[in-house]
Amino acid sequence: MTPRDLLKEPCWEGTDLGEALPDSPHAVSVALPRWQDVIDYEEKNSDCLNSLKAIYPRFGFNPLVAELATNALRLQDPVYINAWPYPTKEIATLAKFHCKNSQPFGKCEVREVLGLQCLLTDSDSAIPAKAFWQHSGLGASSREAAIALGKEPEPVIKIVADARFTLKSRLAEIYQCERDLIYLHPSGMAAFYAALFAVNELFPDKPTLQLGFPYVDVLKLPSVVFKGSTLLLRTDREALIAELEKKKPSALVVELPSNPMLQCIDLPLVADIAHERGVLIIADDTIGSALNIDALPYADLIFSSLTKSFAGRGDILAGSLVVSPKSRWRRVLSEKLSKPLSVLGASDSIELEIASRDVAVRLPKLNKACAQLADRLSSHPAVARVLHPGTCLNFKKLMREGSGYGCLLSFELIGGLPKARKFYDSIRVCKGPSLGTNFTLVCPYVLLAHYGELSWAEECGVPSHLIRVSVGLEDSDILWEKFKVALEN
């Protein structure tokens, strides 16, 4: 059966609830076509959850991973209620260590199941186990689970090695740095985990400091799994210096640009202030993309979710970590990272190499399409404001010559929540989490990322009715007609 072409037949109607986006067993997004579907998903409504054929992999189990976890629980001590598959014993043991630290009296252990390592947990350990799975991004991928279950073949070692070599070379060309400064990981958050792990070894027991409203897990991982993190929304010179003197962090974490507000801090200024005080900069360039911006002169470590624009397909989970050749900590960071805790899976490496072959051609198209939609939305009378990196002077300071602003924008509607809900239900494009796909994806991002803390998000200036759009490769005029119709409903 031919997979559904989401450029021509998007999943936007109520009957599409739960469809995998894209139509693949390894899809990283899922159709939540109505506002109420998003609420039902967050409220864990059984009818909604039972309809899902896919899920963002860190927020739940891909069906293949779920099947392997079910197998892992068979014939085990009935006290165990969950199994969490990991690719190696070392990673599974780290997950166990986190559970023991969080719930000393909980029961958990690591056992091998079909070649993967599963952390088995009782009810007490289940909550920290889920937190580690979600925040770290180190869990077994759907392709690793498929191989373990005998549903997909083991790839040829030589082909895997060639794919990884090519990926590193491709990224080195994009970042304009040496290939040996690039590390491949099973997700963007796994790359961030590796960065925090290395920094924590350099500066034990020191917290990090997050500048600007962040992607949810970029704040949660250092807060929950490592030595804590403080969010600083004021990013002017005086506020930053005061916080650095007070907290004495190991590193500052920045997003280029932030998600979902799509604004940048003044990275050159921040780097000068931090480096003068011996504080590293860890940057996430997932949304901006290294094809568009160059942060290596200022950031010591850059992590990115290659799942997004780099892959473009929406069915590969992957990440990268880059050590800046200009960092004063280059040598010691490279030493700490030389034996990586996690490595991008074999089949995922092959698929990512294939998917990213056209990234240098594809991304400029996404840049252009997103900028064009942002301009059109800005001039529509139903739109209160549009958030896009094109309005951010600090983003422009980092841009490469002839580059663009990425594929993401957010906007608010005049009329707030009722209008946002009506627009969302009627827009005829795919609706679900994630970004960077070849097909347009719309979501009420704040509901998905911060449902349990909406008041806090509002206090941070991030409204719950914000609509986020990842613009795809559809014809720009046809896409705008869909937005116009939905805006005028």
Residue range 404-408: mean pLDDT, rounded: 98
- Is residue 350 within 8 A of residue 155, CB to CB? The reply is yes
DSSP bridge partners of 283: 254, 302
Residue range 336-354: mean pLDDT, rounded: 96
What separation in angstroms does the CA of 230 have from each of 10, 242, 290, 427?
40, 13, 27, 37
Q: Which two tokens stand for residue 164?
A: 């990884």
**Whole-prediction pTM value?**
0.97
Residue 489 pLDDT grade (very low, low, confident, very high; cuts 50, 70, 90)? confident
Q: How many Å apart are CA 112 and CA 93, to the nearest integer?
A: 12
pLDDT value of residue 2: 80
Closest CA to 80 of 61, 58, 99: 99
Helix (H, G, I), strand (E, B) or coil at 386: strand
Question: Sheet harboring 301-305: ordered strands across?
Answer: 182-185, 319-323, 301-305, 280-284, 251-255, 208-211, 229-232
Q: How many Å apart are CA 62 and CA 85, to the nearest integer?
A: 11
pLDDT at 173 over 90: yes
Q: Is 475 exposed, middle or buried (0-12, 13-18, 19+ CB in 10 A)?
A: exposed
The distance of Cα 165 from the centroid of its chain, to the nearest Å, equals: 23
DSSP bridge partners of 453: none
pLDDT value of residue 226: 94
Residue 1 pLDDT grade (very low, low, confident, very high; cuts 50, 70, 90)? low
Residue 216 pLDDT grade (very low, low, confident, very high; cuts 50, 70, 90)? confident
DSSP 16-36: GTT-EESSSTT-SEE---SHH
Residue range 56-82: mean pLDDT, rounded: 92
Taking the alpha carbons of 240, 241, 242, 243 in that order, is the dihedral positive or negative?
positive
Q: How many Å apart are CA 472 and CA 81, to the nearest integer?
A: 40
Residue at 404: amino acid letter: G
Q: How many Å apart are CA 199 and CA 295, to the nearest integer?
A: 19
- Is residue 395 within 8 A of residue 389, CB to CB? The reply is yes
Taking the alpha carbons of 393, 398, 404, 406 in that order, is the dihedral positive or negative?
negative
- Is residue 482 within 8 A of residue 429, CB to CB? The reply is yes
The 10s digit of each residue's pLDDT in 425-435 is 999 999 999 99
- The end-to-end CA distance of the chain, in Å, is 35
The 10s digit of each residue's pLDDT in 468-483 is 999 999 999 999 999 9
pLDDT at 271 over 70: yes
Q: Name residues whose C-beta falls within 8 Å of residue 425's C-beta, 6 or more positions apart in sequence.
A: 33, 34, 35
- Is residue 178 within 8 A of residue 323, CB to CB? The reply is no
The 10s digit of each residue's pLDDT in 367-384 is 999 999 999 999 999 999
Residue 225 burial (CB count, 10 A): 20
Domain parsing of the chain, residue ranges:
64-140, 157-357
As its CATH architecture, domain 157-357 has: 3-Layer(aba) Sandwich (3.40)
Among the ranges given (74-78, 280-284, 339-343, 402-406), the one the predictor scored with the smallest mean pLDDT: 74-78
